[in-house]
Structure 1
Amino acid sequence: MTEFATRLEALETRIAFQDQTIEELNATITAQWRQIDLLTRKLEIVEEQVRSGVHIADPGTEPPPPHY
């Protein structure tokens, strides 16, 4: 095998590994964006609930503490 063919084969191998790495990184980034989108939507729901007072406890409906 000539030096040129050896160098060409090495470059082709590197490109194949780089393509695989790029695909893996793309899949990771896509999964992260899906997770970020889900968490953003959940945060918006929680913020809306806090603004509307959904989670404010009514002291009249709370059971008394065990020491009473």
Structure 2
Amino acid sequence: MSTLENRVNELEAKIAFQDETIEILNDELKTHQKLISKIQRQTELLAEKVKESQSSDFGSEQQIEPPPPHY
């Protein structure tokens, strides 16, 4: 019985360690997911600003610059 009890105790210890490890990894995963979401939103906002900037620059360039002489 002693060996069986030792094996059960060892398995319980391993399970407890695995539970703790899984909880730590889950917390890290949550943190990284929040960071990824934030970075994605910032990238979307930056892309919108670049697109707006390009469209406004394109429109203003056409109005400011006269067409080339060969037109």
TM-score by length of 2: 0.73
1:65 corresponds in structure 2 to none
Aligned counterpart, 1:5: 5
Give the aligned partner of residue 20 of structure 1. Answer: 20
1:44 maps to 44
Distance 1:45 1:3 in 2: 63
**CA deviation vs aligned residue, 1:6-47 (integer Å, no higher than 9, x gap):** 000000000000000000000000000000000000000000
Percent identity reads: 35
Which amino acid is 2:17 matched to? F
CA distance in 2, matches of 1:50, 1:11: 57
Q: How many pairs does the alignment contain?
A: 55
Compare relative contact order (CA 8 Å, sep 6+) and give the higher one, 1 or 2.
Answer: 1
Larger Rg: 2
Runs (4 or more) in structure 1 with deviation over 6 Å come to none
**Shift in Å at residue 4 of structure 1?**
0.3
Q: Which runs of 5+ in 1 are unaligned?
A: 57-68
Indicate the RMSD between aligned Cα atoms, in angstroms: 1.6
Question: Which protein is richer in helix relative to its size?
Answer: 2
Give the letter for the 2:41 counterpart. R
TM-score (norm: length of structure 1): 0.77
